[in-house]
Amino acid sequence: MRRARIAVLVSGGGTNLQALIDAQAKGVIHSGELSLVISNCEGAYALTRAENAGIPTLTLTKKALGGQTPFEAAIIKALDEYQIDLIVLAGFLSILTEDFTARYPRRIINIHPSLIPAFCGKGYYGLRVHEAALERGVKLTGATVHFVNEIPDGGEIILQQAVAVQAGDTPEVLQRRVMEEAEWSLLPRATEIVCQEICEQK
Ligand code: GAR
């Protein structure tokens, strides 16, 4: 059976992309293949990780392309060219429009660094999520992988993993623990689950 072709969209350091690359090498992801990495930020370290793993990369920025509509059109063109079946948002910090998400029902997944519905939606990304969790004083946080629809962080939940907050945590320390104890295993597992679903439908 043909494996599902995966595009990973990134904006920054790409530790979640690295987790996907490592999971593919170990066979945790075996129903899909990492086929393209797209960054919306010039020089994102995630691009270097992809190049080191031999995965084709593209950098597409709203600024260079002249706005959201041509930016999304360029992504769609690349996804078509590479015959992508599944789009994984791995630290991709640009919100996609409904026009875009509606084209790919159950074919876009995202990792978010909290237990949705806590600390999610517009304005909650990266370190800000952990700052908000610490400000609120929650004792448990975590990560969620979910399908992407027109509501930011509002699509069906695929997997979640709780992580304990510890006394004295800074946002940076908490962010790291959530990545180590939740994100880096959750995203590859969820990716495999959805790839299997796609393969079964082919
Ligand atoms: C990760 O913590 C990811 O969950 C978060 O950005 C970080 C990216 O790190 N994503 C969001 O906040 C999306 N709303 P990475 O580039 O090292 O994978």
Centre of ligand 1 from the C-alpha of residue 129, in Å: 10
Centre of ligand 1 from the C-alpha of residue 1, in Å: 32
The matching CATH number, chosen from 3.40.50.360, 3.40.50.720, 3.40.920.10, 3.40.50.170, for 4-201 is: 3.40.50.170
- Distance, in Å, from the CA atom of 129 to the CA atom of 134, rounded to the nearest integer, reads 9
What's the helix, strand, coil split of the chain in %, to 5?
A: 40, 20, 40
- Distance, in Å, from the CA atom of 178 to the CA atom of 162, rounded to the nearest integer, reads 8
| Run of H or E including 100 | helix 98-101
The structural domains of the chain, with segments of one domain joined by +, span 4-201
pLDDT for position 202: 76
User: Which residues form ligand 1's pocket by a CB distance below 6 Å?
Assistant: 12-16, 46, 90-91, 111-113, 125-126, 129, 179, 183
Dihedral sign (CA 64, 52, 128, 184): positive
Is pLDDT at 139 greater than 90 in this prediction? Answer: yes
The ligand 1 atom at the shortest distance from the C-alpha of residue 113 is: 4
Centre of ligand 1 from the C-alpha of residue 55, in Å: 20
**Active-site positions?**
112
Phi, psi (rounded to 5 degrees) for 49: -60, -45
pLDDT tens-digit profile of 153-173?
A: 999 999 999 999 999 999 999
Encoded amino acid at 2, one letter: R
**Residue 136, class by beta-carbon neighbours within 10 Å (0-12 exposed, 13-18 middle, 19+ buried)?**
exposed
Percent of the chain clearing pLDDT 90 (strictly above): 99
The ligand 1 atom at the shortest distance from the C-alpha of residue 179 is: 2
Q: Are 50 and 57 in contact (CB under 8 A)?
A: yes
The ligand 1 atom at the shortest distance from the C-alpha of residue 12 is: 16
pLDDT tens-digit profile of 18-69?
A: 999 999 999 999 999 999 999 999 999 999 999 999 999 999 999 999 999 9
Closest residue by CA, ligand 1 atom 1: 91
pLDDT tens-digit profile of 84-138?
A: 999 999 999 999 999 999 999 999 999 999 999 999 999 999 999 999 999 999 9
Centre of ligand 1 from the C-alpha of residue 91, in Å: 4
pTM recorded for the entire structure? 0.98
Alpha carbon of 163 to those of 93, 177, 181: distances in Å?
22, 8, 7
Dihedral sign (CA 142, 109, 148, 64): positive
